[in-house]
Chain A
Amino acid sequence: MQDVRDALYVGHRSDGTLTRRPMSPHLQVYRFRLSMFLSIANRAAGVAATVGSALGICWISAAAKGPKSFAKVQKVTGHPLGKIALAGWALALVYHFVAGIRHLIWDSGARFDKKKINEDGPIAAGVTVGVTLALVLSILGVAACRSKKRAS
């Protein structure tokens, strides 16, 4: 026996053949790869999307409470810092969505090897940035148009 930990790293596939179980990445010894960043970013985006969803609940509850509460929320969403927070929420949601789709594809068995995962990573990052920018800019544009129309 080489190492006692080997015992727990050997598992069975559903067809009965032996396989080595995957190990968690050790950040101290692994060279940085995009895939490891995209993996932890998905988790971080999930947490950020949770925080954003709590803010979204504040928005809809203010709308349910009445015009006064809604005016308070509009003050937050109209402020530059509020806009940055909303853009951050959009980025988190879009990335969590994209990474989630990739997970569903992997679950189906497709695109699930090192070469293909490394090919898809930059595409996922590009799609995330592009979709987020397009969404945030167009939503801010629509909001600005609507409030200008109401003012005139």
Chain B
Amino acid sequence: MSTSHKPHITVMRSQLSRARGLGSGKSGVAHWWAERMSAVALVPLSGWFVIQVFRLAGASQPEVAQWGGRPVNATMMMALVILTFYHTQLGLQVIIDDYVHGKAHVPASLLMKSVIFLLGVFGAISVLKLALVATRGRIAAN
């Protein structure tokens, strides 16, 4: 394949004919843009998470439960879980698109999305339980 010459069109095909069958031109950047925007949102959330890891390193279960019971921590943690697994699912989709071809592509994508979705929901439920059970404990103590 020649690499040195200046790019020029040598095939007598119209632009329309070349574009046909390559997919829609209208939603091409949606996935790319979602990946970037979730990445940007994860930058401050990751910074917050690193600080929390220092606060919780070696902590006991009651300490973690107390931490998770604070609404601000629960909010940030929930945002982190949702965005992490949203971004994960976008990234793994690209990997499957690149390496899995033919009939296996759709099942592989669906399996990956199911697993990631369930993991994310499991994380969200755990964050909610920490948030709500701690609240109930505090009301009981009053």
* A interface, CB within 8 angstroms of B: 1-10, 18-20, 43, 46-47, 49-50, 53-54, 56-57, 60-61, 63-64, 66-67, 70-71, 93, 97, 100-101, 103-104, 107, 135, 138-140, 142-147, 150
Contact = CB atoms under 8 A, between A and B. Distances in A.
Consensus secondary structure, chain A interface? helix
Contacts, number: 115
A143 B59 CA distance: 7
B2 A2 contact: yes
B46 A64 contact: no
Contacts of A57: 81, 119, 122-123, 126
A139 to B, nearest CB: 5
Interface residues of B, number: 45
Interface of B: 1-2, 6-11, 13, 18, 36, 39-40, 43, 46, 50, 53-54, 57-62, 64-65, 68, 77, 81, 84-85, 88, 91-92, 95, 116, 119, 122-123, 125-127, 129-130, 133
A142 B40 contact: no
Given A46-B91, A64-B130, A145-B58, A54 B119 contact: yes
A60 B123 contact: yes
The list of the 3 closest CB pairs from A to B, nearest first, reads A143-B58, A146-B58, A70-B61
Contacts of B123: 56-57, 60-61
